[in-house]
Structure 1
């Protein structure tokens, strides 16, 4: 066992870790059931009654099913004990009892918002092996022992589970939830040796607002989407010791890492390359598809091009711009539309370019109507910048092209053939 690593024990034996996982999962599922639901910050006290959180008996059935799906409680035969449990602490006790019986696998949900989330099952042993690699990477430089983990991500997603549940268990360090903090306050709360687990949008906000200079040996981790190279360079130039970027997906867990935005990703040791788009684990004949199109730079190094399924990440959530486009195109006043992710300078939200139908003369009214339509989607799916024009942006070769969001809207309004 490497120096500084604790013997591996069941992650669910930690009251804090189990409470954070269940609290984040219940909160996320509760918001899915009731969009307007407002819950207090977690983890909640053990005596918190589920009714006081706003959950009725039908809600509790759905919540228990979500917990069972993640933890495979149905395999233990104890799933019914959770539905009847009166308080949050009793829910944690029921989950622990089930995990004491069966804990070999977990099934994480994809962060899809526009599309239906998918269940992705992983062997706990595989996740623990990856977590050991994380521990080795983060302790590879002398004097870089992690003191605390500052988490800006939910513990029930696979990224959060790896870095804020399994890793602190292995390193025996505390976890501090920094989600309530503003980006500018994150650097101020850091101590020497802290590890910040966040995502590209938050890192960009921290880079813009953080003072020059960080405490010694503060390291960052980022995942869920590509981190803009300018953000990574700005953070390290300001004194962040290191920013580790993890490439992976809910379906695969971590695949590779890098700590230089100009470098390719290095394949984690628990993967081996089978072909240009397939990986396998040592000792297994099972092939795993890469979630993205990649260019290999060597036997174990690659650069990411784009996802196979067309998804992009907004705030750590998978979003499918084509599905948002299809929704906009169903409006009778829209002749055509395209939706894409803003570029690094513009931000990390969606933007839309709309070709109005020939009869439209009031752009302001059309924009209001489309914003109301988009408001039926999750926050991550909603375009935050709109442009209108007679034809969709294209190159001289007729291929779809990007557009800037600071140009004035095109006028007069004409039909696509006008």
Structure 2
């Protein structure tokens, strides 16, 4: 099986660094996630900094947190080389430590779930399985993209490479196919600037494709796209086709399972990847190991190889490619001294996306101007939630609105039942 290139390892380390700093320094999260990470980028403490542009100054806690993320992801502790990350500073040197560890047998990768319901769950995936999956998708794309002009010549990824979906499609797939990859801000700029070319493969998530549809971005005739973390809405898909995008291939899976299924036709049936076979309605079996794995959603099965997701079992919803948990966010909001209880839901709108929240205020807080209460709550939440978890719309009420049978209703749909 192939090894990871140094460039790919540096991209992953940079993404892990950005993700960790964004969690610690929430107010600067977009700054870190938009940064370009290079081999000469240096992670250093303020006391050792030289004042160069390529330096990222961190405190000792942040340094250890970043190093721990790298150790976990590449399983460096299995070869005992994890301490070497504390002896060197540049991402290029960190990548050399990772390469040495992999040469000594540390091949498998540990991904983390979003962690929106509490602590992120660590999910170890075997390297051989991941690489075979990338080889499968390379073959799948070759078989389904038509003539030679449509074959993949470049990958344009809006998905971070340390997520399992981004790892397979923006790290392994380009290496398997020997094509270049453009990530992050450059990928966004290239796409929105309408500088794509025939043979480009976009790697994105439903929210990004909605943004491209709303911005009326044009696409070359032989550009293609792949999407995971949820289906692309029918109206978005239709608009993207009108804007010239050839097709969107949808991949179904999770951090626990990696890819499970794939489909090209919107609202069609997903086909199980060759690695899997159905055991029963709620489980699939890894053919090579005979391990049984629970599927993340309730599924409808057409036959032994084809299925459709019906609803998530963990009650997560998708926001910009991330799993977020509305009930957890509502429970957190209820800890605010001005809030009696809260409700959080996904915005169900063709023109908007994200979460909305209902603040059921304590009596004394109802005397505050609505805008002031919402601003207070937003500022409080900003220190506790990631960007994808932060509600984009807020409403305030004295009670949770219910219908005439006492069942809770969507506050946007029954505004006349809202009261202050």
Q: Scaled by the length of structure 1, what TM-score is found?
A: 0.88
Aligned-partner Cα distance in 2 for 1:29–1:54: 14
1:126-205 to 2 correspondences below 5 Å = 126-141=129-144, 142-143=146-147, 144-180=150-186, 182=188, 185-186=191-192, 188-205=194-211
Deviations 1:27-63 (A, max 9, x none): 2122233335554722324263534201244433322
Report which stretch shifted further, 323-332 or 36-45.
Answer: 36-45
Q: 1:240 aligns with which of 245, 253, 256?
A: 245
Aligned-partner Cα distance in 1 for 2:211–2:24: 30
Structure 1: gaps (5+ residues)? 1-7, 414-418
Answer yes or no: is the 8 Å Cα contact 1:273–1:299 preserved in 2: yes
Q: 2:81 aligns with which of 78, 81, 100?
A: 78
Answer yes or no: is the 8 Å Cα contact 2:152–2:199 preserved in 1: yes
> What number of residue pairs does the alignment pair up?
402
Q: What's the counterpart of residue 48 of structure 1?
A: 42
1:338 and 2:343 correspond: yes
Aligned-partner Cα distance in 2 for 1:57–1:331: 31
1:229 and 2:234 correspond: yes
- Residue 255 of structure 1 and its aligned partner are, at CA, apart by 1.1
Report which stretch shifted further, 356-365 or 309-318.
Answer: 356-365
Partner SS, residue 139 of structure 1: helix
Answer yes or no: is the 8 Å Cα contact 2:6–2:99 preserved in 1: no
- Seen in structure 2, the aligned counterparts of structure 1 residues 222 and 47 have a Cα distance that, compared at 3 Å, is closer
Aligned-partner Cα distance in 2 for 1:379–1:171: 34
- Residue 303 of structure 1 and its aligned partner are, at CA, apart by 1.7
Answer yes or no: is the 8 Å Cα contact 1:148–1:175 preserved in 2: yes
Aligned-partner Cα distance in 1 for 2:297–2:419: 40
Q: Scaled by the length of structure 2, what TM-score is found?
A: 0.88
Deviations 1:81-102 (A, max 9, x none): 1111132211111111111112
- Residue 185 of structure 1 and its aligned partner are, at CA, apart by 4.2
Partner SS, residue 161 of structure 2: coil
- Residue 182 of structure 1 and its aligned partner are, at CA, apart by 4.9
Answer yes or no: is the 8 Å Cα contact 1:82–1:95 preserved in 2: no
- Residue 357 of structure 1 and its aligned partner are, at CA, apart by 3.6
1:28 and 2:33 correspond: no
